[in-house]
Every structure is written in C-alpha cells, then in structure tokens.
Amino acid sequence: MAATPTPRLSELHAMRDQLQTRYAALKAAGLTLNMARGKPASDQLDLPAELMSLPGGADFTAKDGTDCRNYGGLQGLAEARQLFTGVLGVPADQIIIGDNSSLALMHDCVAFGLLKGTCDSQGPWVASQTTFLCPVPGYDRHFAICEEFGIKMINVPLKEDGPDMDVVEKLVASDPTIKGMWCVPKYSNPTGTVYSDQVIERLAAMKTAAPDFRLFWDNAYAVHHLDGKAAEIANIIERCAQHGHPNRAYVFSSTSKITLAGAGLAVFGSSPANVKWLLARMNQRTIGSDKINQLRHVRFLKDEAGLAALMDRHAAILKPKFDKVIEIFQRELGEWGIAHWTLPQGGYFISLDVPAGLAKRVVQLAKEAGIVLTPAGATFPYNKDPEDRNIRIAPSFPDLEEISQAAEGVALCVLLAAAESA
Amino acid sequence: MAATPTPRLSELHAMRDQLQTRYAALKAAGLTLNMARGKPASDQLDLPAELMSLPGGADFTAKDGTDCRNYGGLQGLAEARQLFTGVLGVPADQIIIGDNSSLALMHDCVAFGLLKGTCDSQGPWVASQTTFLCPVPGYDRHFAICEEFGIKMINVPLKEDGPDMDVVEKLVASDPTIKGMWCVPKYSNPTGTVYSDQVIERLAAMKTAAPDFRLFWDNAYAVHHLDGKAAEIANIIERCAQHGHPNRAYVFSSTSKITLAGAGLAVFGSSPANVKWLLARMNQRTIGSDKINQLRHVRFLKDEAGLAALMDRHAAILKPKFDKVIEIFQRELGEWGIAHWTLPQGGYFISLDVPAGLAKRVVQLAKEAGIVLTPAGATFPYNKDPEDRNIRIAPSFPDLEEISQAAEGVALCVLLAAAESA
C-alpha cells in the first residue's frame, strides 16, 4: 500500500463543481476502455508465436515412445510434467496435466469433493453442510464455484502478509464443516499479496476440525513477477507433510499467462495420495488431456530456463503499465488521502480501496464515462463487499495510452464520488 | 448378425485334443497383439498431418474478430460450431464446443445433474436415488460414470434396431428415479447397431415418470461408416421437440476418430434451454475451451464436405480390417454354429457372442496366447455379463497381418473353450 496523508474531504467538497465539469468533459470524450479482466495484451500473446505451428507434422512422439496423437496418458506426458516441478514444488510423478484451464481443475476438485469426498473423507461432502474460507479481497471465480454448489463462504481478512491467521486458526479448529480455503499465495488477485513464510507455516501446521480439510492453493502467478525476479514462497506441500498433514494442499497453476490464455496447459500438484485420488476421479471423465498441446509446450518452452526467459519478456511489457497506473493514482489521488492502492511486485492486478460506501459509485461513474472496471463487490463472496470499498484494477490488456486515460478517468471518478459524499 | 447353423458341439468335443495341440502351438508362437480398445491406427493418425502445424503464427483471428489466443468464448467459435451442425442435427447456436473429450462432456452433464439438477429438475438428482437405463451390450465408459457416482443401472436388451422399446417404455413410465439412458444410436459400441426410425420415434414420444429424464445420445460414430455412405438416423432433438419433450436429448460427439484421438474437439448439441443450462454450469468451470484448436480444426477440415472426404479415407483403412476379422470368423467358426458376430456397417467394433458361460474363458485363453481382448463383461454395467457370452472385438489399431493372427487366435480360443465345455 502507498502511504496516505490525512483525508482532505472538506477541500474536495468545495471543488465539487469543478470536478463535475471535468467529469462532463471526460464523458464527452467518448472513451471505450476496459480494465475489468486480467487478460494478456496482444503483444504478450505474440511472444509464443512459434507455438502456433508446433509441433509440426512429423513430431508426435514423446520421450517414452507415446504417439501423442492417440488416446491415453491420463496424467500427462512425463516431459511436460517435468516442466512444472519448479512452479508446483513437487516431483513430476506428483503432477497431473489438465486441459487449458486451472479453474476447471479447481472446480472439479470441489465437485469431486462434494460427490465423492477426498481421499481422507468419510463420505461425500454433499451429505452435509460444506464451508470454505475466503481471504478477501479475492478472486471472483473462486467464489463463484462455491456459490454454484451452495458452499457457505466465510470472509477472512487478507493482511499484508497473507490471510489473518488468528482468524483462520480459530475457525478451522472449531468448525468441522470447513472443508476448504481459497489461497492465491503469490501476487494475490487482486492485492498482489505474497504470503509470508510464517503464514504458510501456520496454514500447514494448524489443527483443523475436519480431517479432510483442503487448501485450494491457486499459484496462478508463480512466475509472474513484474520486475527482477519472482518472489519465493515456502513450499506448501513440503510444509504440510512436515506437520503431518501430507494431503492438505491441492496446488494449481497454468500457462494461461505464460503462453496463451485460451490454449495453455493447466497443472495440478499434490501429495501422492491426492494425485492417485484425482487420477481415479479423472479416469471416469476422460481418456486423457490434449497431449499434442503438451508436446507443443515442451518443444516451445524447452525447460524452466526457457520459461523464466519468457516471463522476463512478459514483465517488460507489463511493468510500464502498472507503473503508469500507480504514477497517475499518486499524482491525482495521492495528496487527498482518500484512497489506498497496492504496489504489486507481480501478478495482474492493482487493488484500489476508496472511501467506504463509494466503490459502487466509482465503478458506475467510470462506466458512464466509457471505462469498464471489474464490478464493485466482485472481489468478495456473494459479490458483497461489506464496506463497498474495493475496486480491482486490471492494467494488462489496454495499451499504455489507454492505461493513462483510464487511470486518469478512474482517479477523477474517485475524487468526484468523494466530493459528492463529503 | 451372420446366420448360424445348428451347433455341432459333440463333434467339437471329439476334436478336443486336436484343438489343444493347435492352441499349444499358438501359445508357442509368442504373439503380442491387442484388440482391446477402439484406437485409431497410426496410418489413420497420419491423415490429418497438416493439423500438426496449424493454424500458424499469424493466423489467430476468428471470423468475428476474436483473438483466439486470449480468454473467452465459452460456447466455442461460431465457425467451429457450424462444422458440426450436420453431425449433431442442430443449428450452430445450439452447439457447445468442449475440450478434447466427449466423455468429459457426458461426465459433466451427469455430475451437474447430480449436483444441480437439469433445467427441468426440482432440485439436484443427488438428493434421492438416481437410475439410468443401459442398453446392453454397451460402452464400458458410460457405465463407469454411473458406477463412480452410485447411479443404479438397469440393463435393457439391445435388439437389431436399437433398445427393446417395450422394456424401456414400461420402465420409464413407472419409475421416477430413472433420470437418464445411455444411447449410442449409430454403429453402436460394440454391436454396430443403428437405431431404427421407429425406435427413435418411441424414445422421443414415450411418457416418463421423471419430468427431467434425459437421453445421453452419444453419437460417437455419426460419420464413421465403413463402406459407402454413413447411415442416416432420425434427428432425436427434432423428434423430442415434436413430441413436447424439447429438452429430452443431450447429443454428444467428437473428432477423436475424425482428426486426432488425443487432440480433437468434443461437441454438445441440444435444445436452447439445455444449451443455456450447460453454459451456465460451464461458466463456473472455465473461461472457455481451447479456441486455437478449434481454429486449427476449422482451417483443416474446412467444411462438412472436407470432413466427409476425410471419413472416406478412414473407411478405406478400416474396412479391410473389419472384413478380415469377419472372413476369418466365418471360415473358422461359421460351420460350428456356436458363435454369432455382428457385421457392422460403421463404427469401431465387432461384437462376438460365444456360448453362454464361455466369454471369460475365451478372453483368458486369448490372453495366455498373447492376444489382449476387452475384458469379458466390460460391455455390461458393473462388468457383469449375466450370460457371460459377449466379447468386444476392436480391429482398428493392429495392422492387417496382426488382425489375421489375432482373429485366427480368437476363433481357435472359441472352439477350444466350447470343446472343453461340451
């Protein structure tokens, strides 16, 4: 978070007419800008252009001799799994390659939990109430899975170093219906939070009333630094095992923001027992994921060094966009002391907190001026931000010029909303 | 079915020693042949070689301007959906493109039925007993989905023209727990059965005690003829609508046996209400399937004529293999009157019926001689063939020489098993 001076609300109120005039001019400019979703920009999608003509007509044989064009290979090619050992923090035999969506793997782990139970469950979760803990603000699509299946969600405050562990430990110790918790441990969506070693240690060690409690560890931004080198976080699977909870964490990631957002690889890593359990479930669902796409990725990325080099090129495109938003927020909002925003070192989002009760109004004002933001409330379960403060800013997709216009527009909307309410 | 003369069991019994000598020689030959699964052969997988380097680096834009490399497009590209209107028998706006596995779409429709109910359900199926009707012999992976989720399965005899409709009508009319029925309406797995117009009409018209009853219409072999032109079957979705049951049929297919078995496209077609329902479920699971693979398929197949031309090339490879098996069965088994086999006009299988109680023994004898067949019983729910008669023969993967050896070996195993038991 940027440091914030004392709010100067009465001064803002006095500027109300002036702000309204500026807002009228913004509307008149007829912008059509979108900072709603964390989509890679077109020049990022150009980076893996080679992928589009791989693997080539005669190249279809995996290292072990598998003809990748045919059926089979439920767990994924060994060489593709090897690529993700660093990202997931487990050896290749504890990795499963899915289709193109890690969200789908998370959804299926929830659905299989409900219908079958985990490998540590007495029976299907659906037989009784199921509850998930949700660090907030968080990722709307995680919450949507719970809402779809009637899973009760409990908000947990996300602090600078991760979820508020005092709250988490107390809840999981006493409530056996708490079967899961959503975590984005690195460059969290939308705050950019990196879980500290202490927080991860406590998540691994804590006593849970449910013997089949699972951390849904969505390491979506594992290698997605903006500057320099990606942050290092503790290995959740190793930590859980050390504390006698070997099956506690399901780890997810994907290449959606590494290679292609629509055509990448999703990956799952966990304990041997969880991998065996998920393969046994998947075995009813499919004969195997797309091995040609796995081979294509192996040929293109080659190894972890190749993956890291590609991520530097993404960072070079993304960093100026994040810098621009933050520069404009600081310039336009900094002196007023009414808004806070994060200074992420990676990931795809900036989290903007406006005065309580104004997030919806700001998003509405922006929308009327042609700037689409993620709906206010989306970063909370049931789309309900209890304080109506948080707005997710997604600077990745527009170009720098559009970013400038959008950030200036959003800043003006924040000032105007505050002036209106002062 | 081939016509069968009167069984000559006593003669066979007298030949027992001779058959055992021949079987010992077969074992000594040390074959390693596999006719267990319906996998395309390597030369079939060569047919779409062009696909392996498509769409190419600069070709990523769909007709409507979508950048296929990015997120989005839950329903699939319009031009990809257009390709399958003939296969599915619905307009493009009633089609959803999935990942590479139609089995996964079927699995998910069952799982969503259990957890959420259909668009005509009062609530989730999982709240009470769920039952599916299973025409037998049928596809083992259909039955495995039901077994996974504890769905009760009731066998229904498959006749020459489809399921025994007297049995089906009686069951669905009286039992409200019957929520689904598996159907492979064209070149059925394993019998090659093509459902008659009358059977399809009765399936569409029948009264069901469950208002949310669904036909799981797995048209896996829609265009997979062996000779000449694919059979035409009645349009199940139109028929159901005509009878006031617009949402009765979920239709599935894929290009697994058209382009690549591991890297094709799976498709779903149904009524507008069912499509809306499935998209609403999928929306929690994924941001969209792999649009680059959809574009790749559009570029390669081009249109329905392109698809049909490709299927003729598959038929040219497959037909001699089916002919060889049937020729050998006729030559080796025809005169003995103890076995029946189907004469499929399409699909991937020949269904072999041996004397009651001997299927397991035949499969075991074949295995000991190095010929792997689909396990006896696999074509029935719970892997239980009540008469232990049916064996699925999959002639697609081995080459012609291997097919000859395998078919001769299987025929010998049938004769020996019958001689042993006579």
Q: B214-254: per-residue pLDDT in tens?
A: 999 999 999 999 988 889 999 999 999 999 999 999 999 99
| Chain B positions in Cβ-Cβ contact with residue A100 (cut-off 8 Å) | 99, 286, 289-290
Q: With CB atoms and an 8 Å threshold, state whether A292 touches B52.
A: yes
| Closest-CA residue to B198 (of B248, B160, B156, B157) | B160
Q: With CB atoms and an 8 Å threshold, state whether B285 touches A101.
A: yes
Q: B329-388 pLDDT, tens per residue? A: 999 999 999 999 999 999 999 999 999 999 999 999 999 999 999 999 999 999 999 999
For strand A390-393 and strand A350-353, is the pairing parallel, antiparallel, or unpaired? antiparallel
Interface test with B, best of A281, A290, A297, A314 (most B CBs within 10 A): A290
Q: With CB atoms and an 8 Å threshold, state whether A293 touches B263.
A: yes
Range name among A355-364, B3-12, B242-251 with the lowest pLDDT average = B3-12
Q: Is the pLDDT of residue A38 over 90?
A: yes
How distant is the Cα of B284 from the closest Cα of chain A, in angstroms? 6
Q: What are phi and psi of B327, to 5 degrees?
A: -60, -45
Residues 50-69 on B with a CB inside 8 Å of A are 50, 52-60, 67-69
How distant is the Cα of B58 from the closest Cα of chain A, in angstroms? 8
Q: With CB atoms and an 8 Å threshold, state whether B57 touches A52.
A: yes
Q: Which residues 6+ apart lie within 8 Å of B184 measured at CB?
A: B138, B139, B193, B218, B219, B220, B221
- Asked if residue B57 lies in contact with residue A246, where contact means CB atoms within 8 angstroms, the answer is no
How distant is the Cα of A252 from the closest Cα of chain B, in angstroms? 14
- Which among B67, B69, B101 has CB closest to A287? B101
Q: Which helix H or strand E contains A390, and what residues bound it?
A: strand A390-393
Hey, is the C-beta of B123 within 8 angstroms of any chain A C-beta? no
Report, as an integer, the average pLDDT of A247-267.
Answer: 97
Angle between helices B291-301 and B304-333 (to 10 degrees): 80
| Chain B positions in Cβ-Cβ contact with residue A285 (cut-off 8 Å) | 101, 103-104, 107-108, 145
Hey, is the C-beta of B398 within 8 angstroms of any chain A C-beta? no
| Chain A positions in Cβ-Cβ contact with residue B104 (cut-off 8 Å) | 285-286
| Chain B positions in Cβ-Cβ contact with residue A71 (cut-off 8 Å) | 37, 39, 256, 261-262
Interface test with A, best of B109, B260, B293, B294 (most A CBs within 10 A): B260
**pLDDT given for residue B4 in this prediction:** 57
Q: With CB atoms and an 8 Å threshold, state whether A286 touches B67.
A: no
- Which among B145, B262, B263 has CB closest to A284? B145
**pLDDT given for residue B347 in this prediction:** 98
Q: State the ipTM, two decimals.
A: 0.97
**pLDDT given for residue A151 in this prediction:** 98
For residue B384, how far is the Cα from the chain centroid? 19
- Which among A49, A99, A141 has CB closest to B57? A49
Q: Give the residue from chain B lying closest to A115, CA to CA.
A: B149
Q: A111-154 pLDDT, tens per residue? A: 999 999 999 999 999 999 999 999 999 999 999 999 999 999 99
**pLDDT given for residue A228 in this prediction:** 83
| Chain B positions in Cβ-Cβ contact with residue A149 (cut-off 8 Å) | 115-116
Q: A165-214 pLDDT, tens per residue? A: 999 999 999 999 999 999 999 999 999 999 999 999 999 999 999 999 99
Query: How many other β-carbons are positioned within 10 Å of the β-carbon of residue B56?
Result: 13
- Which among A53, A69, A99 has CB closest to B53? A53
Q: B24-78 pLDDT, tens per residue? A: 999 999 999 999 999 999 999 999 999 999 999 899 999 999 999 999 999 999 9
Q: B273-327 pLDDT, tens per residue? A: 999 999 999 999 999 999 999 999 999 999 999 999 999 999 999 999 999 999 9
**Spatial separation of the C-alpha atoms in residues B348 and B397, rounded to whole Å:** 10
Residues 234-293 on A with a CB inside 8 Å of B are 256, 260-263, 281, 283-293
Q: Is the pLDDT of residue B187 over 60?
A: yes
Hey, is the C-beta of A43 within 8 angstroms of any chain B C-beta? no
**Spatial separation of the C-alpha atoms in residues A422 and A412, rounded to whole Å:** 15
As given in the structure block, the two tokens for residue B128 are 């009470």
**Spatial separation of the C-alpha atoms in residues A385 and A359, rounded to whole Å:** 9
| Chain B positions in Cβ-Cβ contact with residue A148 (cut-off 8 Å) | 116, 281, 284
Q: What is the mean pLDDT of chain A?
A: 97
**Spatial separation of the C-alpha atoms in residues B150 and B160, rounded to whole Å:** 30
**pLDDT given for residue A229 in this prediction:** 82
Q: With CB atoms and an 8 Å threshold, state whether A71 touches B262.
A: yes
Q: Give the residue from chain B lying closest to A288, CA to CA.
A: B262
Domains of chain B: 9-44+308-421 (3.90.1150.10), 62-303 (3.40.640.10)
Q: With CB atoms and an 8 Å threshold, state whether B115 touches A114.
A: yes
Using the 8-state DSSP alphabet, how is residue B336 labeled?
Answer: G
